Chains A and B, each alone.
Chain A
Amino acid sequence: MSAAPAPPLLAIENLQASAGGKEILKGLDLVIRAGEVHAIMGPNGSGKSTLARALTGHPSAVVTGGRVRYEGQDLLALEPEARAREGVFLAFQYPVEIPGVTSSTMLREGLNAIRAHRGEPELDAFQFLKLARQKADLIEMAHDMLSRAVNDGFSGGEKKRNEVLQMLVLEPRLAILDETDSGLDIDALKIVAKGVNALRGPGRGFLVITHYQRLLDHIVPDFVHVLADGRIVHSGGKELALELERRGYAWLEEPAAAPRS
């Protein structure tokens, strides 16, 4: 007897979504299998963040059609926290500042909720701190960041690094990184990539949204997709990123004229 093949980690079919009353995603298809890293590139305003918000349940991204299955279940039917507990994580393009709530409080509550959902015992304050410090070391982050209020007064780079720290602590199965590289110098970029690569493995998938090819030198993707006007207009291997870097997006704007790769 052969077992049915495992469903893909993420299967997006004909996803349509609007934001601010405007149609942004116009029938997007994408399949991510466990172990794969997919990069999405595309011009500003093409709907990359809207996709990330739709996948995590942000109320501003209103899904108007299509479906999204995550490990075989209907992702769009879940509340944002239920998606997180099932292993979906978003590193925000613009991380939110939350004065008065420390990173360690937020992360410990979040991690324990996720662990409880998986049937694992909760971590006490000491166990949690030990774990969080190990992860912080991995991306060369000062431990005192954990006791500071979430992103409060952080520089752009610190915020992005903090997103990666949270990802490392929560260990998602599907991690969506929305322009985590923008605003980072090359050293910070390498550190962020180190964090992502540390988590990379057969059980996990990544959706890396980026503007620049340079991140993909350090997080080498299995697939690169171009998002334009609410659809994936082109897909290829990692070399597509280099081509985009050289030629820009204009040659892809009209899908009919696009060369196959």
Chain B
Amino acid sequence: MPNLVTEANAFLADFERREQEEAGRAPGWLLEVRREAMRAFLDQGFPTRRDEEWIYTDVTPLRRHRFPLAPRTSTRPATLAPQRFALGLDRGPRLVFLNGRFEPTLSRTGALPEGTELGPLAEALTRTGAADGPGAVLGTLAAAARHPFVALNTAFLADGLWLRLPPGACVDDPIQAIFLAEPRGEPSAAHPRLLLDLGAGARAVVVERYGLECVGALGEVGGLTNTVLEARLGAGAALEVVRVQREGGAEHHLGFTAARLARDARFTQVAVTLGGALCRHETHVDLAEPGAACDLSGLYALAGREHADHHTVVRHAAPRCTSRQLYKGVLAGRSIGAFTGRVIVEADAQQTAAEQANHNLLLSPEALAETRPQLEIHADDVKCSHGATIGQLDDEALFYLRTRGLDAAAAGHLLVHAFADEVIERAAEERVRAGLAALLAARLDLAPGAGGRR
């Protein structure tokens, strides 16, 4: 325990230093939220694998390093190329953040429906109070008191995405939020926050992209990106979040996504995790009112000694809600992919339909897939299904393709893409799907053993 306090104290020292630097600039209510969160983090400390929620992921690497806050702004935004991270989206709103801070010179918002608020969170927070604007969403779905890394994110809350759509507003082009880590020689931390507030009947697609911009030969230094997204969906609203994580094989990434759905709202998430030393993404969906629906899908493609842990919690709290989950892992090298999917059906939630599947493709005998469905059903009129598989590339299919002239690697790639496509297909936007397929192809080329003969 004393050890733990020291580790947490490393973050505390940073916290205090920043508070002094920013004295007088942040509104008082926000300072109080951050202080409260810092206390919550110190109270909870780092989770260990003895915690039920963390049995697959050991956060020791995070305890060992000190991650000072990343430098405030880039020295060279002009030379950065955010279009590399744009998934082929050449138009539509794009907000770029470097080391967690908004970079206006690389960003644009364009024409938006009347009454829409879209912009950097830092600015929105200074304009509003604790109970309106982003202040009214912040911490309502992701509670610092209940999650150490949400607490840490909140304690260091600085910037991120703020989107409010008034009732009925539709943004046609995907809204891109691109978060780039730009290491400067030592591992550092960024804590982006995304707050989305969709009025009744509003519609939007948000592409949430995490990447690494390396400075020259520095390469990957193993920093920490710790994100929180909170989305509030009004009645009949529809939100699709396409989340793409690929900072690099040495990086640590923690993500927490929480959505609350009012009557007949729908939330779709396509989470693509392309690896890092330690990746963890939690998705918490609250189907709070009748007729709400969520479709969560995930694809993780890992190699080397990468580790990714996906955790979903879907709470059916009202009648006639549906949830669908499909998570797929492609695991090469000695990578580890874990999935825990919890579905809670409360007593009132009659006529619930909940479906969950986790399928894993092991490309090497040393790769490991862990899967854990957790169903807690308290209603009786419920249709729930879950399934999990762990398999390898089909040898007969590989042979068949090779007799048609494809070499073993090309045949393997085709089969892996076929496996992954089911997830990619769930993104509504054609350009996004093409972008995701290209990312996966690039990822597979990096993964020795993908499609190779075993």
Chain A 59-97 near chain B by CB (<8 Å), digits 1 or 0: 100000000000000000001110111000110100110
Quick one: which of A101, A117, A166 contacts B414, CB cutoff 8 A?
A101
Q: Give the total of A residues in contact with B, Cβ under 8 Å.
A: 32
Q: Are B400 and A98 in contact (CB under 8 A)?
A: yes
A-contact 0/1 string along B410-446, CB 8 Å cutoff: 1100110111011000000000000000000000000
The answer to whether A100 touches B402 (Cβ under 8 A) is: no
Is residue A11 within 8 Å, beta carbon to beta carbon, of the partner chain? no
User: How close is A168's CB to chain B, nearest CB, in angstroms?
Assistant: 13
Is A134 in contact with chain B by the CB < 8 A criterion?
A: no
Residue of B nearest to A115 (CB): B405
- A109 & B396 in contact (Cβ 8 Å cutoff): no
| Residue in chain A with minimal CB distance to B414 | A101
Q: Within 8 Å CB of B76, what residues of A? A: none
Q: Identify A106's interface contact among B396, B406, B408, B422, CB under 8 A.
A: B406
User: Residue B404 at the A interface, CB < 8 A?
Assistant: yes
Cβ contacts under 8 Å, B417 to chain A? 100-101
Q: Give the chain B neighbours of A56 by CB distance below 8 A.
A: 403
- Is B399 among interface residues, defined by CB-CB distance under 8 A? yes
**Complex CA distance for A166 and B404, rounded to whole angstroms:** 8
In this assembly, does B62 line the interface, its C-beta being within 8 Å of a C-beta of chain A? no
Q: Does B123 contact A (CB under 8 A)?
A: no
Kindly state whether residue A252 has any CB partner on chain B within 8 Å: no
- A83–B407 alpha-carbon span in the complex (Å): 11
- The residue on B at minimum CB distance from A90 is B403
Which of chain A's residues has its CB closest to B421's CB? A100
Quote the shortest CB–CB distance from B399 to chain A (angstroms). Answer: 6
Q: Mark each residue of chain A from 128 to 146: 1 if its CB lies under 8 Å from any CB of chain B, else 0.
A: 0000000000000000000
Cβ A111 vs Cβ B405 within 8 A: yes
**Interface of B: prevailing SS:** helix
CB-CB nearest in chain B for A88: B403
Complex CA–CA separation, A96 to B415 (angstroms): 13
Interface residue tally of chain B, by bracket? 20 to 34
CB of A80 within 8 A of CB of B410, answer no
Q: Which of A57, A84, A99, A100 contacts B404 (CB 8 A)?
A: A84
A170→B404 contact, CB < 8 A: yes
Determine whether the beta carbon of A81 is less than 8 Å from that of B414: no
What chain B residues lie within 8 Å of A101 (beta carbons)?
A: 397, 401, 414-415, 417-418
Encoded as 1 (CB less than 8 Å from any B CB) or 0, chain A from 99 to 138 comes to 1110001110111011001000000000000000000000
Closest to A97 in B: B397
Across the interface, do A80 and B399 meet the contact criterion of CB distance under 8 Å? yes
In this complex, what residue of B is CB-closest to A95?
Answer: B400
Q: Please report the C-alpha to C-alpha distance between residue A112 and residue B399 in the assembled complex, in whole angstroms.
A: 18
Taking a contact as CB atoms closer than 8 A, the residue among B400, B406, B418 that contacts A96 in the complex is: B400
The answer to whether A81 and B407 have CB atoms under 8 Å apart is yes
Give the interface centre of B401, B405, B418 by most chain A CB atoms within 10 Å. Answer: B405
Q: Please report the C-alpha to C-alpha distance between residue A117 and residue B406 in the assembled complex, in whole angstroms.
A: 11
Q: Give the docked Cα–Cα distance between A181 and B405 (Å).
A: 24
Is A100's CB under 8 angstroms from B419's CB?
yes
Pick from B397, B404, B419: contact of A110, CB below 8 A. B404
Are B418 and A81 neighbours in the complex by a CB distance under 8 Å? no
Tell me the bound Cα distance from A98 to B396 in angstroms. Answer: 9
Does A58 count as interface, using CB distance less than 8 angstroms? yes
Closest to A83 in B: B403
Among A84, A96, A100, A113, the residue within 8 A (CB) of B396 is: A96
> What 3 A-B pairs come out closest when comparing CB atoms?
A100-B418, A110-B404, A110-B405
10 contacts between A and B (CB under 8 A): A59-B395, A79-B407, A81-B411, A84-B404, A96-B397, A101-B414, A106-B414, A110-B405, A113-B410, A149-B418
List 8 additional contacts besides A96-B394, A96-B397, A170-B404; criterion CB under 8 Å.
Answer: A56-B403, A79-B408, A80-B399, A100-B417, A101-B414, A101-B418, A109-B404, A110-B401
Residues of B within 8 A of A (CB): 394-397, 399-408, 410-411, 414-415, 417-419, 421-422
Which residues of A approach B to under 8 Å, CB–CB? 56-59, 79-81, 83-85, 89-90, 92, 95-96, 98-101, 105-107, 109-111, 113-114, 117, 149-150, 166, 170
